[in-house]
Every structure is written in C-alpha cells, then in structure tokens.
Amino acid sequence: MAWSTPLTATLNGTLTAAQFNSSVRDNLNASEASIAHFHQGASVTGGLFFATGANALDQRGVYSDSYTNASSTTSTSYVSLASAAPAVAAVTGTQALCWITAGLTNSSSGSNSFMSVGVSGASTIAESDNWCISIDGLLTGSSVDSFAKMTSCHLFTGLTPGTNIFTTKYRVSANTGWFQNRSIVVLAM
C-alpha cells in the first residue's frame, strides 16, 4: 500500500470508510513503525530507514564480519585467502557503503600488500585497487611482525537490489603478503 497525502477534514463533512482507509490505514502502513523489524534474525536491532522514492521508505541496516588470525598470499592478482574471507551477504537497494580494515605487511620491504572488496550475488563488481587498502615500504614483515592496520571506505553504486555478497580479496606486488585482524562493514542503502 502506498502513501497518499492525508485528506483535510472540513466542518460537517462526512468521513467515509474509503477516506479513512486511504488517509489513515494505508498511510500508517507506509510509515516507519509499520515497516520496522529486527534487522537480522530474531533479535538483532539497528535497522535504518532510507528513502527509496518520493514518500517511500525501506529498512536497511549494517552488516559485518571479521577474522583475526594472520593469513597470507603470494598471488599478484586478487584472491581469497585460505581462511575465512571475511564476507557479508547484505540485502541492499542500489547502493551500499563498505568499510574494510586489516593489518597488512609483506615479507619484503620493497613489496606491496593489498586488500580490496568485490561484490557477487545479485550484482557483479570486481575488486579493484581503486578502493583497496595497501602498504608499501614497511620493514620486512612476517605472520607475527610489522603489521600496519588501516581502513578504507567505498560507496558501491549501481547494485542490483537484492542480496549482494561483499567479499574481501587480497594480493601482493611480489613476495608474501600477510593479513590479520580483517573485517568488513557494509551499510546497505
């Protein structure tokens, strides 16, 4: 049911059932209280409301995932690590804000390590250096040493509304890149 501008009552005017249904029932059903529900599962709070058109709302929310242990790659093109990504499946409209965070290092002080994010599911957007986090020129690192932790934010546009899966991917320019304390946060809009 869609929103319609509430009628203006007039003195001695008759309020019909159709008018009540349109101006009261249908408008209440289009309001945020009627739409509101737990964000995820049966108990997670924090749903947010976004305008999806004139006089139209939908509930969206924040999704996150993380993985602590250090993992590595020697791939010079973006790949998943052997351990969990992290990744989230988010119900989005056409846009989403995405933050990625990790501690990065490389086994060679002259090499880069990169972390980015791509989208699959309802949409397909390849991970890219344009929205990565990356280091270069750190002291020689290992699985337990010389990590620099950083974060980055990117607005994904042109998504196909529905369930979109945001997956972190990793690469290096050379040698071995290590990544720890990885996380992803997606604000679906």
Partner 1 sequence: MAWTAPMTYTSNTPLTAAQMNTYLRDNFMETMTAKATAPVGDQPGGFFTTIGTNQIVERRIVTARVDATEQTASTSYTDLDTIGPQVTVETGTAALVMWNARIWNTVTNAQSCVTYTVSGDSVIAPSDTNSMILDGIGAENKWQAGCWDYTKSLTPGTNTFTLQYRAGGAGTAAFRSRFISVWPL
155 near partner 1 (CB under 8 A): yes
Q: Which is nearer to partner 1, 126 or 155 (CB)?
A: 155
In this structure, what are the phi and psi dihedrals at residue 139, rounded to the nearest 5 degrees? -60, 150
Map the footprint of partner 1 across residues 65-94, applying CB under 8 A.
93-94
30 near partner 1 (CB under 8 A): yes
How many chain residues are in contact with partner 1, going by CB under 8 A? Answer: 54
Instruction: Pick the binder of partner 1 from 76, 89, 154, 183 (CB under 8 A).
Output: 154
What lies within 8 Å, CB to CB, of 67 at 6+ separation is 83, 84, 85, 86, 182, 183
Instruction: Pick the binder of partner 1 from 25, 74, 153, 162 (CB under 8 A).
Output: 153
Between CA 122 and CA 136 the distance in angstroms is 34
What lies within 8 Å, CB to CB, of 13 at 6+ separation is none
21 near partner 1 (CB under 8 A): no
145 near partner 1 (CB under 8 A): no
Give the nearest distance from C-beta 43 to partner 1 in angstroms: 23
Helix, strand, coil tally for the chain in percent (to 5):
10, 45, 45
Evaluated on CA atoms 105, 108, 110, 114, the torsion sign reads: negative
Between CA 15 and CA 7 the distance in angstroms is 10
Positions that interact with partner 1 (CB under 8 A): 3, 6-13, 15, 23-24, 27, 30-32, 48-57, 93-95, 97, 99, 109, 112, 114, 129-138, 148, 150-155, 157-158, 189
